[in-house]
A and B are shown apart, each in its own frame.
Chain A
Amino acid sequence: MIKYLNPSYVFKISGKLLNLFKTLLIPLVAIGLIFSLFLSPEDYIQGDSVRIMYIHVPSAWISLFGFAAISFFCILNFLFKLKNVTLIYKSLAPIGLTFNIVAIVTGSLWGQPTWGTWWAWDARLTSMLVLMFFYIAFIFSYKFIKSPDRSIKACTLISVLGLINIIIIKYSVEWWSTLHQPSSISLAKETTVHFSMLIPLGLMVFALFMYVAVIFLMKYRIETIRIKRKGFKKL
């Protein structure tokens, strides 16, 4: 068990994984894009703008899962003082923030032709914007708070509040009337996306999660090297 937590062992394994993911990434993205841009049909009412969904939905999922993950590791660190996991959430948070912004921007681009507006202050859109501020606050609290002890406390507070916000995002479309449509894909009910559109969506979800894995591993390894140079104590 100890062996798996050893940074140099993790470093070695993560290198191998990174190489594997990197080789998989390009074909996956290519297949995903071919399906979502050319092989999938137009929507019966939205026309070609349905293709925006193939980026929008995976990005939104990544930003939600990303925040859940960094909160989990941050709370783990708060409870058990596991220094190693700070690297995990430091490497993951900027990726989550990026995809959060991508989800908001693509949603806005889709909203203009479909709803007739770029932005609406409804519960779903607003809570996604709030998530973006939580991401920024999280990143700031480990970047600018010098004392590690205080920084963990700040991150934990943001994690707890942010996790509640994640639940609000998930159920916002059911609890309140919103301009944003209810979820089309959910464990609780039958999916309302036609099969021919589910294939490109699934492929893009897979491809973008693979992209996240590649960027995450690269960042994680760079942080490890940086710490090795500075000495592990200064973490």
Chain B
Amino acid sequence: MLLKKVKIRLSILLTLSVLSVLAIFLLFKVLEDNVLYFYSPSEIKNSDDINLKKKIRIGGMVKKGSIQSNERDIKFIVTDLKNEIIVSYSGTVPALFAEGKGVVAEGNLKDKKFFIAKRILAKHDENYMPPEAKQSLNKDAK
């Protein structure tokens, strides 16, 4: 009967789906940290084993008023509003790099509070608006 065949195929499909979900879940469990593109300052603070030689990425917001630059390098603070890391970098920063904006730094940790970046990426948030709308938002905030 046709119906019986459909039932068999349906059970094959369901088994396949459950197995696939399980397999992919386990795969991501194994990969765990590798799936994260960057760590937040809090994650760095709470982690026990920090490899100073390994290249990692940290990310968060550039703290307002924290950018200090001279002709050789630029220093700023990455914050997730709970913990902070000082980042030192020499090179050009992307156009969107600014105080109060998202940033991802690639490089090595010196210790849990100090990071030497080899590369800086700007992280854009999900907000899109024309300059006038931004100005009126700023006015409201004040």
| Chain A residues within 8 Å of B, Cβ to Cβ | 41-46, 50, 53, 75, 78-80, 113-117, 120-123, 156-157, 160-161, 164, 168, 176-179, 181-184, 192-194, 196-197
Contact = CB atoms under 8 A, between A and B. Distances in A.
Nearest to A122: B37
B126 A160 contact: no
B134 interface: yes
Contacts of B93: 116
20 contacts: A41-B132, A45-B134, A75-B13, A78-B13, A79-B9, A80-B6, A113-B95, A114-B94, A114-B95, A115-B121, A116-B95, A116-B96, A116-B120, A122-B37, A161-B24, A177-B36, A177-B37, A179-B104, A181-B123, A182-B125
B122 A160 contact: no
Nearest to B130: A41
Contacts, number: 114
B9 A78 contact: yes
A157 B16 contact: yes
Contact of A177 (B10, B39, B134): B39
Nearest to B38: A177
Given A44-B133, A79-B6, A182 B126 contact: yes
Interface string B1-20: 00000100110010011001
